[in-house]
């Protein structure tokens, strides 16, 4: 990093009236009005240290190296993080984060936090996690937690983790708790993705039932030379339901596949938005639809079944909206990464 020669050169119209003393005893000349404008904490320190009108005063900025203090003052004089100062922020990022937090320089704190978040490595994740907690840097804290959960093997080999295990049990427990929370969160996301996929498949089965019995000719999708169509599986299931000997021997019972077919007919009747059974304008052609509708009017469905119907109806609506609307490429790529991540988790 190219160090500035003197801060006084940035404000040649006035003589420096403040001496900033660092931890190693070095003194840096600065201007009180610049420091007071940039930081309310420095303003109070200057007011307490000043003994007379326009008299030179001395303040101490401790806890970091003299180069870190000089970089902090240099950026305060610039009043912004210029492109040529990004290297300074990357080199003295932890020191600038600590100083900007202690002296309440919000814009510099955000810039230092963003720079450290972008350049974070597993070797420094534990140290930066503790610094982020002390300096109230949520973005950096979240990035450290995600990096530790993603590559904990590399974090375990770091000096920060070894130090935490030997001397900081609270930090070790916090990191282990973060890892456990991340695992539980991934498992919960995997369960939610699996349930959404099940509801989507049920909604697709409901649409396929309507498609199969849409007209007198019936559906010809099952005759196509492909296994991807959902109509093929439903046609085979209905063919088994019509010829099942176990169902004929025990009415209302039957094998597992027959019970599954009855549940699909019942679910269709629950989500069917066609006219009432006694209305001949647009009747529903799906078998047993009017039977289950009459049964539902006579008997109240339980809470679990009503919840299933609600989720399947929502999945049908969302699938129709997704089919009618063109998805942007960025959103489609994000969905693909999300789905692939879920597949790896499962």
Domain ranges (residues) in the chain: 1-116, 187-345
Distance CA 257, CA 267 (A): 15
pLDDT at 3: 45
Phi, psi of 230, deg, nearest 5: -75, -20
pLDDT at 94: 95
Question: Which has the closest alpha carbon to 152: 189, 129, 125?
Answer: 125
Distance CA 217, CA 219 (A): 7
- Cα angle 217, 223, 228 (rounded to 5 degrees) comes to 120
Pairing of strands 27-30, 18-21: antiparallel
- Is 234 a residue whose pLDDT tops 90? no
Domain 1-116 has CATH 3.30.710.10: yes
Listed in sequence order, the DSSP H helices in the chain are: 32-38, 40-49, 66-78, 86-91, 93-102, 106-118, 125-135, 138-150, 152-156, 159-167, 169-212, 230-243, 245-249, 256-271, 289-298, 303-324, 329-345
Pairing of strands 18-21, 57-60: parallel
Same fold, 1-116 and 187-345: no
Span 104-114, mean pLDDT? 95
Distance CA 69, CA 7 (A): 12
Confidence of residue 69 (pLDDT cuts 50, 70, 90): very high
CATH topology of domain 187-345: CREB-binding Protein; Chain A (1.20.1020)
Distance CA 148, CA 143 (A): 9
| Cβ-contact 229, 221 below 8 angstroms | yes
Span 104-116, mean pLDDT? 95
**pLDDT above 70 as % of the chain:** 80
Which range, 52-56, 142-146, 245-249, 272-276, has the best average confidence (pLDDT)?
142-146
Least confident of 10-14, 167-171, 252-256, 285-289: 10-14
CA atoms within 13 A on the CB side of 109: 19
pTM: 0.65
Tokens of 122: 């597993």
């Amino acid at each position: 990093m190219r160090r500035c020669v003197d801060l006084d050169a940035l404000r040649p119209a006035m003589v420096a009236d403040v001496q900033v003393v660092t931890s190693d005893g070095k003194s840096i000349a600065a201007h009180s009005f610049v420091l007071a404008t940039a930081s309310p904490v420095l303003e109070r320190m200057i007011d307490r240290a000043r003994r007379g009108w326009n008299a030179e005063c001395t303040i101490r900025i401790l806890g970091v190296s003299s180069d870190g203090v000089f970089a902090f003052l240099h950026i305060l004089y610039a009043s912004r993080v210029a492109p040529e100062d990004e290297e300074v922020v990357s080199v003295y990022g932890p020191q600038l984060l600590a100083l900007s937090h202690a002296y309440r320089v919000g814009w510099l704190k955000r810039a230092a936090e963003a720079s450290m978040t972008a350049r974070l490595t597993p070797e420094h994740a534990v140290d930066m996690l503790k610094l982020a907690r002390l300096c109230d840097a949520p973005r950096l804290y979240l990035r450290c937690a995600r990096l530790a959960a993603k590559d904990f093997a590399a974090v375990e080999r770091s000096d920060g983790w070894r130090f935490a295990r030997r001397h900081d049990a609270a930090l070790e427990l916090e990191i282990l708790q973060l890892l456990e929370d991340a695992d539980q969160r991934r498992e919960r996301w995997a369960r939610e993705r699996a349930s959404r996929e099940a509801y989507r498949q049920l909604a697709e089965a409901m649409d396929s039932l309507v498609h199969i019995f849409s007209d007198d000719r019936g559906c010809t999708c099952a005759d196509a030379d492909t296994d991807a169509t959902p109509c093929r599986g439903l046609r085979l299931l209905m063919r088994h339901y019509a010829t099942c000997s176990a169902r004929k021997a025990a009415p209302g019972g039957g094998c597992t596949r027959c019970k599954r077919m009855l549940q699909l007919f019942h679910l269709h009747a629950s989500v069917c938005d066609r006219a009432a059974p006694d209305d001949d304008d647009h009747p529903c052609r799906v078998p047993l639809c009017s039977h289950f509708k009459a049964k539902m009017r006579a008997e109240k469905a339980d809470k679990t079944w009503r919840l299933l119907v609600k989720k399947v109806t929502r999945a049908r609506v969302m699938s129709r909206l997704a089919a009618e609307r063109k998805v942007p490429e960025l959103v489609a790529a994000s969905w693909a990464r999300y789905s692939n991540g879920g597949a790896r988790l499962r």
